[in-house]
């Protein structure tokens, strides 16, 4: 496949992604001038920059003065670095900082047109916040949550205006990453969806619409991708080998280096939350949990899947982790052997594809090309391969299904082929 054809495909995919199939193109949109952002941490600060950069006045709210000062200092530092590279002027820095008004009170959000919360990822915390916003923010304003996987319908139910609540999932760092997952709730009004889809490109983002499920599009697909990467470790690979193979495939980073960069404690918290409902008959790798139990959360603690020298982000392979993987495999009765490069690619990328097909069938994503926009712009999938779904179509859906069916026979229930994939192949189709 030529690079040009993948580029053309993605350009068209990004243009198509803005369209919402069940909302007329001429739906009137709401005016969004002033924007409120709650939380001045990495994510909230980045979101404030996104809107200030595009000319919006922003009210940035934090609970404590110390957190607010730290957030503003980070924003100023980001702008100063951009100015030092000659990309913006000193006057631009002053104007962008000037558009951000710091505050310690939610009451200062009374007149905003759109508010986005970027507080701690906890359902009760967010529900409590939305109940308070409901009494403060003017009627007709859009109430956005930056949650990456929580149930937005439950958050909306904490208000008297669920029609105004929507998910706006930015990717970190928000001022750099171009993807925005716009997540519609059961009761989100059509004009709120249309407004957010049309607003996104004006602030430099590529929007993709999703419905609610655990993890929406991107993070839900990431779960089986990481799972298979961890399984091939137990079967004989090493973290640096898996990361190396997937970087050669074209991924911006391998899954283990990426985990260390993002922080391993976040996904660990998710696994602990899901532990009670996990099917105990299915294979489960304990390696990642054990790494976290040892206090290794990635780059921020100087050790995760790799170890790190102080002040250096270069991953250094760690014999302790190799020993931990061997021990886990032994306890699970897994015989370790040689794992080929192709096996590493097929196990991880086909896991993405199968989950993507499942998402399409459930109506979580509108179209296969939307999934590709998510993965190229939010997860470092190689643009010259067009995204996981396009890659599968280029490989041939029949061949993809045959490989997934083979893995289903060998590895069990995790690899049950998505019904959509089976139907498309049975119909002789070459696209999703």
**Residue 54 to residue 2: CA distance in whole angstroms:** 35
Tokens matching residue 287: 């390696």
State the pairing for strand pair 165-170/179-183: antiparallel
Torsion-angle region of residue 311: left (phi > 0), alpha (psi -120 to 50) or beta? Answer: left
Report yes or no: 52 and 72 within 8 Å, Cβ to Cβ. no
Please identify every residue annotated as catalytic.
169
Q: Rounded to whole angstroms, what are the CA distances from 336 to 73, 234, 328?
A: 50, 7, 11
Residue 403: partners with Cβ closer than 8 Å, 6 or more residues away: 346, 350
* Phi, psi torsion values for 425, nearest 5 degrees: -65, -40
3-class DSSP assignment, residue 30 = coil
Nearest CA to 154 among 178, 174, 180, 127?
127
Q: Which residue intervals of 294-418 are DSSP H helices?
A: 319-331, 341-362, 368-378, 388-395, 397-411
Nearest CA to 214 among 173, 168, 270?
270
**Residue 235 to residue 332: CA distance in whole angstroms:** 11
């Amino acid at each position: 496949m030529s690079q040009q054809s993948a580029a053309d495909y993605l350009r068209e995919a990004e243009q198509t992604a803005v369209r919402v199939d069940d909302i007329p193109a001429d739906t009137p949109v709401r005016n969004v001038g002033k924007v409120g952002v709650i939380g001045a941490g990495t994510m909230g600060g980045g979101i404030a920059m996104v809107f200030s950069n595009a000319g919006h006045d922003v009210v940035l709210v934090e609970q404590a003065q110390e957190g607010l000062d730290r957030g503003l200092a980070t924003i100023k530092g980001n702008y100063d670095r951009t100015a030092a590279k000659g990309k913006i002027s000193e006057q631009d820095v002053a104007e962008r900082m000037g558009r951000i008004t710091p505050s310690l009170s939610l009451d200062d959000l009374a007149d905003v047109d759109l508010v986005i919360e970027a507080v701690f990822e906890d359902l009760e915390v967010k529900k409590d916040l939305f109940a308070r916003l409901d009494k403060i923010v003017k009627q007709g304003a859009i109430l956005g949550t930056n949650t990456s996987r929580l149930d937005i319908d439950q958050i909306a139910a904490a208000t008297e205006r669920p029609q105004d609540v929507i998910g706006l999932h930015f990717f970190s760092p928000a001022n750099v990453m171009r993807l925005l997952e716009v997540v519609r709730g059961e009761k989100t009004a059509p004009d709120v969806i249309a407004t957010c889809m049309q607003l996104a490109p004006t602030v430099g983002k590529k929007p993709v619409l999703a419905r609610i499920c655990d993890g929406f599009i991107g993070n839900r697909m990431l779960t089986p991708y990481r799972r298979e990467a961890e399984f091939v470790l137990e079967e004989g690979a090493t973290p640096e080998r898996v990361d190396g193979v997937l970087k050669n495939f074209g991924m911006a980073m391998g899954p283990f280096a990426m985990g260390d960069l993002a922080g391993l404690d976040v996904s660990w918290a998710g696994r602990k939350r899901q532990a009670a409902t996990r099917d105990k008959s299915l294979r489960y790798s304990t390696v990642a949990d054990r790494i976290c139990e040892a206090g290794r959360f990635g780059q921020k603690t100087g050790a995760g899947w790799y170890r790190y020298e102080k002040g250096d982000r270069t991953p250094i392979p760690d014999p302790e982790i190799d020993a931990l993987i061997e021990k886990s495999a032994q306890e699970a009765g897994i015989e370790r052997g040689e794992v080929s490069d192709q096996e590493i690619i097929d196990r991880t990328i086909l896991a993405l594809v199968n989950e993507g097909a499942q998402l399409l069938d459930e109506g979580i994503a509108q179209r296969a090309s939307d999934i590709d926009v998510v993965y190229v712009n939010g997860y470092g999938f190689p643009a010259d391969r067009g995204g996981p779904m396009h890659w599968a179509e280029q490989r041939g859906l029949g061949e993809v299904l045959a490989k997934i069916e083979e893995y289903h026979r060998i590895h069990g229930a995790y690899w049950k082929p998505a019904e959509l994939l089976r139907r498309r192949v049975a119909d002789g189709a070459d696209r999703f």
